[in-house]
């Protein structure tokens, strides 16, 4: 046994007792330790680099600021969408060439096109961000607007160039991937920029965002290895209705700024509790309908797996999101979205297996 520390009696017990009675919260109110401060600082800087809520401000490296503008955390769903599209083609095989093709397509979907979209959105949202997220690079003045515009154009032109190179690499007679990139960049523009500014309408804006996260990268990955057909496009657009619910989740953190500037996001239009229910119903119901479609094409095993992946999402919605969507939006997304994106891959594998 280890040696215990000897206990020395307090020579002034009454004074010690008085100090406890008069200052019951003294220990609880003690300042944070240097280690805790360092940990919090690292967390804030990580959030800053990834483009997440609760980030630190004051970054001076122009390249880190440019990366922050591109919001790397938002690349992940689109990169995953490419994987789902490759799976649904039914033609992907593990060769070095195919791995390089997928990597190039992920670069297109993530850093280039999503990066372009995020910077474009920040450029047109600089007044809203000054209210909701003043630490962001543009409202904080960390980067001049002319440099922001240059970065938008560089990413867009590089994206078009890589998309065309992928079409050539895949032997496409019609530049399908380039066409998808052009359509995606146009949707990104009308989503963020006046006069249309789709995000001003909660329904149109959320669906446009959901389709951008699911239909566009999925179609790109599918076209990379197979023939993109109307069935895949329609199914992924239908799946994007579940993505609409995910897009609504992102609106809760901006509800005050949206309300002040007249943007009709769903939390502004319906109130936070009702919008939260609209969000979870669209996420769950449309995934369930996709599972029903898989049953209809006799992919029963994949349909069962998809249903099993919906159940924990419902549980986490009740545990976190519906109780406080403003406070728990990040926690809910971090815990529930892995099940949703796994369901997307299951669906892609089912479609590839069925030969659709």
pLDDT per residue as tens, the chain (356 positions) = 444 444 444 445 444 444 444 444 444 445 666 665 555 555 555 555 555 555 555 667 899 999 999 999 999 999 999 999 999 999 999 999 999 999 999 999 999 999 999 999 999 999 888 888 898 999 999 999 999 999 999 999 999 999 999 999 999 999 999 999 999 999 999 999 999 999 888 899 999 999 999 999 999 999 999 999 999 999 999 999 999 998 899 889 888 888 887 888 899 999 999 999 999 999 999 999 999 999 999 999 999 999 999 999 999 999 999 999 999 998 999 999 999 999 999 999 999 999 98
- Residues 297 and 180: their CA atoms lie apart, in Å, by 27
- Kindly list the distances between the CA atom of residue 280 and the CA atoms of 79, 80, 322, in Å, as whole numbers in the listed order: 24, 21, 8
Kindly state the DSSP code that residue 201 receives in the 8-state scheme: B
- Residues 78 and 230: their CA atoms lie apart, in Å, by 20
Token output for 7 = 């206990």
H helix and E strand count, the chain: 16, 0
335 neighbors 351 (Cβ within 8 angstroms) = no
- Residues 332 and 134: their CA atoms lie apart, in Å, by 24
Instruction: Provide the residue ranges of all domains of the chain, joining segments of one domain with +.
Output: 59-354
214 neighbors 236 (Cβ within 8 angstroms) = yes
- Predicted TM-score (pTM) of the model is 0.83
Instruction: Phi first, then psi: give them for residue 13, nearest 5 degrees.
Output: -65, -35
Kindly state the DSSP code that residue 105 receives in the 8-state scheme: H
Q: Give the per-residue pLDDT at 14.
A: 46
Q: Selecting from 3.40.50, 3.30.70, 1.10.940, 1.10.600, what CATH number does the domain 59-354 have?
A: 1.10.600
Residue with tokens 């939006």: 329
112 neighbors 158 (Cβ within 8 angstroms) = yes
Q: Give the per-residue pLDDT at 59.
A: 66
- Residues 312 and 340: their CA atoms lie apart, in Å, by 10
- Residues 117 and 111: their CA atoms lie apart, in Å, by 10
Number of C-beta neighbours around residue 19 at 10 A: 12
Token output for 91 = 């033609």
- Residues 215 and 184: their CA atoms lie apart, in Å, by 10
Q: Give the per-residue pLDDT at 58.
A: 63
Q: How many residues does the chain have?
A: 356
Name the 3-class secondary structure at 323. Answer: coil
Token output for 126 = 């600089």
């Amino acid at each position: 046994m280890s040696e215990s520390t000897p206990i020395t009696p307090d020579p002034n017990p009454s004074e010690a007792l008085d100090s406890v009675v008069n200052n019951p919260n003294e220990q609880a109110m003690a300042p944070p330790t240097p280690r805790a401060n360092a940990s919090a600082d690292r967390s804030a800087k990580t959030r800053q680099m990834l483009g997440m809520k609760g980030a630190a401000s004051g970054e001076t490296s122009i390249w880190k600021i440019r990366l922050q503008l591109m919001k790397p955390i938002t690349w992940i769903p689109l990169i995953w969408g490419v994987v789902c599209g490759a799976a649904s083609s039914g033609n992907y095989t593990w060769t070095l060439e195919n791995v390089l093709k997928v990597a190039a397509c992920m670069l297109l979907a993530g850093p280039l096109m999503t990066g372009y979209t995020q910077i474009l959105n920040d450029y047109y949202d600089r007044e809203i961000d000054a209210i909701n997220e003043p630490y962001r690079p543009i409202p904080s003045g960390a980067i001049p607007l002319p440099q922001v515009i240059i970065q938008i154009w560089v990413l867009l032109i590089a994206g078009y160039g890589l998309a065309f190179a992928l079409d050539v690499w895949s032997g496409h007679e019609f530049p399908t991937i380039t066409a998808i990139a052009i359509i995606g960049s146009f949707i990104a523009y009308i989503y963020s920029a006046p006069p249309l500014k789709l995000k001003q309408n909660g329904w149109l804006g959320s669906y446009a965002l959901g389709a951008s996260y699911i239909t566009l990268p999925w179609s790109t990955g599918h076209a990379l290895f197979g023939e993109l057909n109307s069935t895949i496009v329609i199914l992924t657009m239908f799946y994007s209705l579940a993505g609409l619910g995910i897009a609504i989740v992102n609106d809760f953190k901006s509800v005050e700024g949206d309300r002040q500037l007249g943007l009709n996001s769903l939390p502004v239009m319906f109130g936070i509790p009702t919008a939260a229910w609209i969000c979870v119903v669209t996420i769950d119901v449309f995934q369930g309908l996709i599972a029903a479609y898989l049953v209809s094409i006799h992919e029963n095993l994949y349909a069962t797996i998809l249903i099993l992946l919906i159940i924990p999402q419902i549980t986490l919605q009740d545990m976190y999101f519906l109780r406080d969507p403003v406070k728990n939006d990040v926690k809910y997304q971090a815990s529930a979205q892995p099940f949703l994106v796994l369901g997307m891959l299951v669906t892609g594998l089912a479609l590839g297996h069925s030969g659709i």
